[in-house]
Amino acid sequence: MSYFDELAFQFIDGEWRAGSGSWDIVDFNPYDGEKLTSIPIATVEEVDQAYRAAERAQPQWGATNPYTRRLVFERALAFIDAHEEEMSEAIAAEVGGTHAKVGFELHLVREFLREAVQLALRAEGRILPSPVDGKENRLYRLPVGVVGVISPFNFPLLLSMKSVAPALALGNAVVLKPHQNTPICGGGLVAKIFEEAGLPPGLLNVVVTDIAEIGDALIEHPVPKTISFTGSEKVGRHVATVAASHFKHAVLELGGNSALVVLDDADIDYAVDAAVFSRFVHQGQVCMAANRVLVDRAVEREFTEKFVAKVASLKVGDPTDPATHIGPLINEGQAEAVSSLVERAVADGAQALVHGTTEGTLVAPSVLSGVAADSPILAQEIFGPVVLLIPFDGDQEAVWITNATPYGLSGAVHTADIERGVRFAKQIETGMIHINDSTVHDEPIVPFGGEKSSGVGRLNGEATVDAFTTTKWISIQHGRSRFPF
C-alpha cells in the first residue's frame, strides 16, 4: 500500500478518519497529471475537534520529563532511515521534486529532528536579582500550549517538520494544516512518522482542508496561542491580521526577492555555479531563491557568457530521472503565471538571453537582461525558473539595487575580499545573507527569517524556543514585605 492510499485521511486525536465535508481535495502528480489520491475535506467541526484534542493532551505532555520527550524524536529519525525510499518516491510524485531536491529535503528533515532531540532540554529558566530584600525572582520558560501550523507546498515535509518537531519537543501540542497541493507529504506523512515514533494521541493532529470550507477558523479558534505560517506574503498578511485581532502570536516565514551579487573581484566560475543553484534549485520554487543576479560591469561579459551557457545546459523533464535538473512547477496555473511574467517583461523591452518554453507544468529556464526599471517582475517573487541579470557600477549602486524591493529574506555576495563582503552584507536589508555561497541555506541552530515583507519573527535554535514557549515570573518573598498602608 502506498502512502497515497494509507494516509489520505484526517488525523485527529490519534485516529485516521475521513473528513465530513461535502467535497474532496484531489492530489495530483504535477509532472504527469496522474491522480494520486483524494481526501474528503475537514470542516470547521473537525478543526475544533483537532484543537480540543490537542488542548486535552498537552498538559500531561508539557509535564513529561524532557528526557522522555526527546525519545520520540530519536524514534522518528529511525523511522525515516528505515523508510527513506518510500518517502523519496512520495515527495517526487507529489511535489515534482528531482533527485537532488528530494535528497536535500530529507537531509534537512533529519537535521531538524536531531535538533529537536536537543531542543527538548533547552527551555531553561532563570533566577533574577531583586531590589527588595529577601525576594527571589524565578523566571520559568513554559510551553505556549497549542500551536497551529500552516505549511506550504514547495518543501512540504521539511517546512511542516520545521515547526511541528520543535513545538512538540518544547512540550506543546500541534494542529497542522498542510497545503492543499501536498496533503500527504506535508501532513499525513508527518502524522505517520510521529505515530510510529510513539507520540501520545492528540498531541499532533492533521486537518486537510481549505479556506473555502473553514474560513479563518484555524486561526481564530480560541485554543492555539501561536500560529506558525510559511507561505506567500499576501496570505501571510491576512494570517497576521487575524492572529493579532485575537491576541495570538504569529511567526511568519514569507516570500523573498533575493539577490546574488557578483563583485568585480569574485571567482567568476564559482559565482556562476552558485548563481545557477540559487535560482534553479527546485525550479525556483524556493523562498530564498535568487530572483536577481547583480553583476559588476567590470566582469559582466565574462559572467554572462558562462552563466547563460550553464543555464542552457540544464535538463528539463521527468523529476524521477536522476539526470533532470528542472522538474515541473506545482500546477499549470503557476506555470502559466511564470510564463506570463516572462512574456510581459520581453514585451516591455527585456532581452531574453535564454527564452524557456512552457509545456503543461514544465517551464524551461529563462534568463532576462535589460529589464525596465519599472517592470513589475523586478519587485516581486517569481517562484519559477526565471532569473534577471542586472549590471551595476560599484558596491554602493549594488547595495541600492539589492535593497530596492519590499522583500528582505536572503541574499549572497561573491568577492575575493571577505571583509569587503562583510561590509557589503551589513548594508543589505535581509534577515540572512551569505558570502561566497548560494542564497539558499537553512541550518537548525541558526535563526531563520526575514525583514520587511519577508516575515515576522525567527525560527531555528534559540529563536524557536522564543517562538514556542512563554515566560512566567514567579516571585518568592523570604521573610515579610513592608507595605505603605
What positions carry a catalytic annotation? 253, 287
End-to-end CA distance of the chain: 74
- Owner of C-alpha cell 547583480: 294
How far is the CA of 426 from the CAs of 138, 229, 407, 432, in angstroms?
A: 37, 27, 16, 10
Q: If you write DSSP's letter for every residue of 418-463 in order, what string do you get? A: HHHHHHHHHTS-SS--EESS-S----TTS-B--EETTEES-BSHHH
DSSP 199: P
- Backbone phi and psi for residue 164, each to the nearest 5 degrees, phi listed first: -65, -50
How far is the CA of 433 from the CAs of 285, 388, 443, 449, in angstroms?
A: 19, 19, 13, 11
Q: Tell me, what amino acid is at 417?
A: D
Query: What b/e sequence results for 305-322 when a residue is b if at least 16 CB atoms lie within 10 Å of its CB, and e otherwise?
Result: ebbbebbeebebbbbbee
Could you tell me if 203 and 169 are in contact, meaning their C-beta atoms sit under 8 angstroms apart? no
Could you tell me if 141 and 115 are in contact, meaning their C-beta atoms sit under 8 angstroms apart? no
Of the candidates 408, 423, 417, 410, which has an alpha carbon nearest to the alpha carbon of residue 436? 417
Collapse the DSSP code of 291 into the 3-class scheme (helix H, G, I; strand E, B; otherwise coil) and give the result: strand
Q: Tell me, what amino acid is at 290?
A: A
- Backbone phi and psi for residue 101, each to the nearest 5 degrees, phi listed first: -65, -45
All cell numbers assigned to 219: 486561526
How far is the CA of 239 from the CAs of 155, 178, 229, 292, in angstroms?
A: 20, 15, 8, 28
* 223: Cα separation from own chain's centroid: 24
Q: Which residues neighbour 83 within 8 Å (Cβ) at sequence distance 6 or greater?
A: none
Burial (CB < 10 A; 0-12, 13-18, 19+), residue 93, is buried
Of the candidates 258, 309, 188, which has an alpha carbon nearest to the alpha carbon of residue 432? 258
All cell numbers assigned to 37: 489520491
- Owner of C-alpha cell 562583510: 422
Q: If you write DSSP's letter for every residue of 164-192 in order, what string do you get? A: HHHHHHTT-EEEEE--TT-TIIIIIHHHH
Say how many residues make up the chain.
485
d(CA 95, CA 108): 16
